């Protein structure tokens, strides 16, 4: 590798990430906030870098990786500033000997906070009530004004019980909720007791829960995990919360389920074709929509940003990147 590696940062990220990279290499980056390079632009800029510091908005597919691997210098590593890495073809990267890392752990609490806030906001109709007030429609307290769903002592159904699912259960305990979960990996009895979570097959979780919150990674086996059949199993009073990845939920089937009253509402932080959103959702009052902000506290985003830099720095120094996803490429 050249003495000073070439590093590409694909979006503006929190400031502390840059000096860590500049200490070891030459950094190319956009400093304009909110600029997301389309795929063609990424493909034009990517080749000729040793390291790519990527965001979940970047489609790091096999063609992109092959192009960057064939350039000079050849790409050594993609460090994603996100815990999810479905935007990267990790198998292709492994085949090409390119390391891939993510940023797990540091965002779990913050994401759990937002997932719970979304649950509360949807259940208690907070955005809808605020829109009503700001529109000058509040003429006085009313016994039926914005009656919503009860959160405390209700049943939470978690689909996915990894780091963020467990945090969600901890938040729910404060509201004395009963937490059911389904995951392909069943937790040990000790962990189930510690996190106050009861395992059930997925269909039973869907049938019994008042709130269903999705916390699985997105991969081929979780594509449209929640679709027509699953909505049919849910209670008509159920509320779906998704802070994981959009395509885990079949968004068109969700619209149909809401229109038919098969479920009562949804709180969504992620969408199937981000940033596009099924147009019908935008006009539904029983749906709360957020622009993928679950990990967006300044502290957490700063931790994620430095973690991605740390992975690149470790690789440059010949050390094992702490969050490498395909360690086999280091052999």
Rounded to a whole number of angstroms, the minimum distance from the CB of residue 295 to ligand GLV is 5
Rounded to a whole number of angstroms, the minimum distance from the CB of residue 119 to ligand GLV is 17
H or E stretch at 155? strand 155-159
CB neighbours of residue 23 within 10 Å: 11
CA-based torsion, 190, 194, 200, 202: positive or negative: negative
Rounded to a whole number of angstroms, the minimum distance from the CB of residue 310 to ligand GLV is 16
170 contact partners, CB below 8 Å, separation of at least 6:
112, 195, 196
Rounded to a whole number of angstroms, the minimum distance from the CB of residue 90 to ligand GLV is 14
- The catalytic residue among 66, 204, 274, 278 is 274
Residue with the two structure tokens 């699985």: 216
> Of the two residues 65 and 107, which places its CB atom closer to ligand GLV in the complex?
107
Residue 321: which of 169, 29, 241, 330 has the closest Cα? Answer: 330
Cβ-count burial 163-198 (b if 16+ within 10 Å, e if not): bbbbbbbbbbeeeebbbbbbbeeebeeeebeebebe
- The catalytic residue among 49, 245, 301, 315 is 245
**DSSP at 270:** -
> Of the two residues 8 and 83, which places its CB atom closer to ligand GLV in the complex?
83
Q: How many whole angstroms separate alpha carbon 237 and alpha carbon 100?
A: 42
CB neighbours of residue 93 within 10 Å: 25
> Of the two residues 81 and 263, which places its CB atom closer to ligand GLV in the complex?
81
**Any catalytic annotation for residue 292?**
yes
Rounded to a whole number of angstroms, the minimum distance from the CB of residue 83 to ligand GLV is 4
> Of the two residues 56 and 172, which places its CB atom closer to ligand GLV in the complex?
56
**Any catalytic annotation for residue 245?**
yes
Q: In this structure, are residues 314 and 321 in contact, taking their beta carbons and an 8 Å threshold?
A: yes
> Of the two residues 200 and 296, which places its CB atom closer to ligand GLV in the complex?
296
Rounded to a whole number of angstroms, the minimum distance from the CB of residue 56 to ligand GLV is 6
> Of the two residues 13 and 56, which places its CB atom closer to ligand GLV in the complex?
56
Strands 26-29 and 6-9: parallel
**Any catalytic annotation for residue 128?**
no
Contacting residues toward ligand GLV, per CB under 6 A:
56, 82-84, 107, 295
Q: How many whole angstroms separate alpha carbon 245 and alpha carbon 228?
A: 18
Residue 81: which of 109, 99, 49, 103 has the closest Cα? Answer: 103
Catalytic residues: 245, 274, 292
């Amino acid at each position: 590798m050249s003495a000073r590696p070439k590093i590409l940062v694909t979006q503006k990220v929190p400031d502390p990430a840059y000096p860590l990279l500049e200490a070891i290499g030459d950094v190319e980056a956009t400093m304009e906030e909110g600029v997301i390079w389309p795929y063609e632009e990424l493909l034009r800029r990517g080749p000729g870098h040793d390291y790519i510091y990527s965001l979940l908005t970047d489609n790091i597919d096999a063609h992109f990786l092959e192009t960057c691997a064939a350039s000079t210098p050849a790409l050594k590593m993609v460090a994603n500033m996100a815990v999810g890495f479905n935007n990267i073809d990790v198998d292709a990267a492994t085949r090409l000997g390119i390391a891939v890392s993510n940023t797990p752990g540091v965002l779990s609490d913050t994401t759990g906070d937002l997932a719970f806030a979304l649950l509360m906001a949807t259940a208690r109709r907070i955005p809808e009530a605020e829109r009503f007030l700001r529109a000058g429609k509040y003429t006085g307290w009313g016994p039926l004004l914005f009656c919503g769903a009860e959160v405390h002592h209700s049943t939470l159904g978690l689909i996915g019980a990894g780091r963020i699912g467990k945090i969600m259960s901890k938040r729910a305990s404060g509201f004395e909720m009963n937490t059911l979960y389904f995951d392909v990996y069943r937790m040990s009895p000790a962990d189930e007791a510690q996190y106050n979570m009861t395992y059930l097959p997925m269909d039973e979780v869907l049938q019994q829960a008042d709130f269903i919150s999705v916390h699985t990674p997105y991969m081929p086996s979780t594509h449209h995990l929640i679709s027509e059949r699953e909505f049919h199993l849910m209670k008509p009073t159920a509320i779906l919360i998704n802070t994981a990845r959009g395509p885990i939920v079949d968004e068109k089937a969700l619209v149909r389920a809401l229109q038919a009253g098969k479920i009562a509402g949804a709180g969504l932080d992620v969408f199937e074709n981000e940033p596009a959103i099924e147009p019908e959702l935008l006009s539904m009052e029983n749906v709360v929509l957020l622009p993928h902000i679950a990990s967006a506290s300044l502290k957490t985003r700063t931790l994620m940003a430095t973690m991605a830099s740390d992975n690149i720095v470790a690789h440059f120094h010949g050390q094992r990147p702490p969050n490498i996803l395909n360690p086999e490429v280091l052999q």
